[in-house]
Structure 1
Amino acid sequence: MEWRDEGIILGLRKHGETSVIAEVMTHAHGRHMGIVRGGRSKRLQPVLQPGNSVDLVWRARLDEHLGQYQVELLNGRAGRLMESAIGVHGVQAMAALLRLLPERDSHARLHDAFAIILDSLDTPARAGALYVRFELAILEDLGFGLDLSACAATGVRSGLIYVSPKTGRAVSADAGAPRADRLLPLPGFLTDRSMACSDAGMLGQALRLTGYFLGRHVFEPRGVEPPISRESFCTAALKAMRQAEPVLSPIQEPIA
């Protein structure tokens, strides 16, 4: 068995004296493991850093085997990511989310979004909003996507300012007014792609929204705690937003 793909390094663990097992988010083959012979060498250590994009050739006798990787560097962004708290915690938080997906299931759009967001983490004022969209995409691919397109009660597509914590569906201002204290705020930039996430308050609402549904549908049923890297990233992103310009242009949409 053999295939070639590109992927982003998520993590490593030692294997024997000189090798490593690399965990990679590939474009066509999902989250996939493989042994890299000599992966602890001076030549390969800088290549096999979390966040780097690599060209991969995977070989094994049978498809179900762990197999071996041959790797070549495509984008060595890891050094740049290590220069800021947003970069360090961002790559760790997204890697933790990708580990929620079944191994070897293809999620090409998440791979592509991961790459785009990693390349945008040096723009701190936009990093948080991009990350929120990534969490929404993770929820969708796990089967728990939110429906933010229309009001759950009336069907209107405007004035959507709440989300029902029970159904994950948007609710309009008028329909939600009588029970506003039981609904989750819906930041406007999540429904209007022309709107920027312009302040820390808006970003905080968005992070609480996705965090609530990740906890309810993913972490709690599996009996696990949310990754510490997520909390650390949220803290760093909110701090960056408070230091950013008061008015931002709309962000690039990484997930179609």
Structure 2
Amino acid sequence: MDTEAPALVVFVGPSGESGARVHVLTEADGLVRGLAYGGASRAGRGVWQPGNVVKTRMQRRTESSPCRLSGEVLYGCTARLFSAPLAMAMAVATCALADATLPEREPCPPLFGETIRLMTFLGYDPVVAEREAMPQYIRWELALLRTLGFGLDLENCALTGQRDGLAYVSPRSGRAVSAAAAAPWKERLLPLPSFLLNADETGTPHDWAQGLRLSGHFLARDAFGQRHLPLPAARQRLVERVEKLAAEEASIPTGDRTDPATGAQTPEPG
């Protein structure tokens, strides 16, 4: 193995005095775990940071030998997010989930593309990312579930087949249910935030919390529960940050609230 490709750094850990254990996500080879010699040096730390997109050379002498990684930064996402805590939490959670769930050396071109798009959006304008990136992040979690074989069906109602009025998801089957059909059982269903059905919607912190609860249920049950593992701490910290934003939003009088997408004040009802 001797290939070169763009890769997203998803994990970095120490290895010896100056080396680093590095996990990267690539399009053709999926998750690759290797060693970066000098990765813990001052120059190496600038390259091998979770969230960086790196032009990575991957070398392996034999199938059983460790993979040697070297590279140069193409796009440094997390360095742009120090003043954007919510966007930073999304970037860190993305890396943690990808590293914890994806099988090694199994190609995942669609998910790789979705991941790079998300990280690019987060880093391009952190101020905008704080307001608008959460729906994209939650869609990424749903894409991760699809890649792992646990995709949700949000196309039509599981009970009526209708495509309109979808408002809930069955926690057992992962299928959408319309508001009308769900009436007798809605307390046992997961709310389906409308921004997951309409890409033009940004939603509110309350909607984001519902979206994280939805994707988190299936991640916890299917991606981690089958291996008797908890969700990564980085993902839980993201949930706590969003729930805090939702609680702060709920404490503000309606007329004083602002639309997260436009910054405009929300008018009083009626």
Per the TM superposition, whether the score is higher than 0.5 is: yes
Give the secondary structure class of the aligned counterpart of 1:54.
Answer: strand
Give the secondary structure class of the aligned counterpart of 2:46.
Answer: coil
User: Which range moved further: 144-153 or 88-97?
Assistant: 88-97
User: Which range moved further: 232-241 or 12-21?
Assistant: 232-241
Give the secondary structure class of the aligned counterpart of 1:193.
Answer: coil
Provide the rounded CA distance (Å) in 1 between the counterparts of 2:149 and 2:260. 35
Q: Contact (CA 8 Å) 1:128, 1:234: kept in 2 or not?
A: no
**Relative contact order, higher structure (CA 8 A, sep 6+):** 1
1:147 CA displacement: 0.2
Give the secondary structure class of the aligned counterpart of 1:65.
Answer: coil
1:102 CA displacement: 0.6
Provide the residue aligned with 1:124 in structure 2.
130
CA distance change for structure 1 residues 153 and 3 in 2, over 3 Å: closer, same or farther?
A: same
Q: Contact (CA 8 Å) 1:9, 1:23: kept in 2 or not?
A: yes
Q: Which amino acid aligns with 2:261?
A: L
Provide the residue aligned with 2:175 in structure 1.
169
Provide the identity percentage: 35
Provide the rounded CA distance (Å) in 2 between the counterparts of 1:19 and 1:147. 44
Provide the residue aligned with 1:85 in structure 2.
85
Measured against aligned partners, the alpha-carbon deviations of 1:76-101 in whole angstroms (never above 9, x if no partner) come to 22311333322432222112211211
Q: Contact (CA 8 Å) 1:127, 1:237: kept in 2 or not?
A: no
Q: Contact (CA 8 Å) 2:132, 2:260: kept in 1 or not?
A: no
Structure 2 segments unaligned to the other structure (5+ residues): 263-270
1:159 CA displacement: 0.6
Provide the residue aligned with 1:253 in structure 2.
none
Q: Contact (CA 8 Å) 2:170, 2:176: kept in 1 or not?
A: yes
Provide the rounded CA distance (Å) in 1 between the counterparts of 2:11 and 2:221. 26
Provide the residue aligned with 1:226 in structure 2.
231
Give the secondary structure class of the aligned counterpart of 2:237.
Answer: helix
1:227 CA displacement: 1.5
CA distance change for structure 1 residues 125 and 147 in 2, over 3 Å: closer, same or farther?
A: same
Structure 1 segments unaligned to the other structure (5+ residues): 250-256
1:239 CA displacement: 5.0
TM-score, scaled to structure 1: 0.89
1:153 CA displacement: 0.9
Provide the rounded CA distance (Å) in 2 between the counterparts of 1:141 and 1:40. 32
Q: 1:157 aligns with which of 163, 169, 172?
A: 163
Provide the residue aligned with 1:109 in structure 2.
110
Give the secondary structure class of the aligned counterpart of 2:133.
Answer: helix
1:154 CA displacement: 1.1
TM-score, scaled to structure 2: 0.84
Q: Which amino acid aligns with 1:115?
A: I
User: Which range moved further: 181-190 or 152-161?
Assistant: 181-190
1:247 CA displacement: 5.9
1:60 CA displacement: 1.4
Q: Which amino acid aligns with 1:197?
A: T
Greater helix content? 2
Provide the rounded CA distance (Å) in 1 between the counterparts of 2:237 and 2:197. 26
Q: Contact (CA 8 Å) 1:10, 1:24: kept in 2 or not?
A: yes
2:155 maps to 1:144: no
Q: Contact (CA 8 Å) 2:191, 2:214: kept in 1 or not?
A: yes
Q: Which amino acid aligns with 1:100?
A: T
Q: Contact (CA 8 Å) 2:84, 2:130: kept in 1 or not?
A: no
Provide the residue aligned with 1:254 in structure 2.
none
Measured against aligned partners, the alpha-carbon deviations of 1:142-172 in whole angstroms (never above 9, x if no partner) come to 1111000011111111011111111110111
In the TM superposition, structure 1's runs of 4+ consecutive aligned residues that sit over 6 Å from their partners are none
Provide the residue aligned with 2:268 in structure 1.
none
Provide the rounded CA distance (Å) in 1 between the counterparts of 2:220 and 2:243. 20
1:25 CA displacement: 1.1
Provide the residue aligned with 2:185 in structure 1.
179
Provide the rounded CA distance (Å) in 2 between the counterparts of 1:40 and 1:96. 20
Provide the residue aligned with 1:246 in structure 2.
259
Task: Please give the root-mean-square deviation of Cα atoms over the aligned residues, in Å.
Answer: 2.0
Give the secondary structure class of the aligned counterpart of 1:44.
Answer: helix
1:55 CA displacement: 0.4
1:115 CA displacement: 2.2
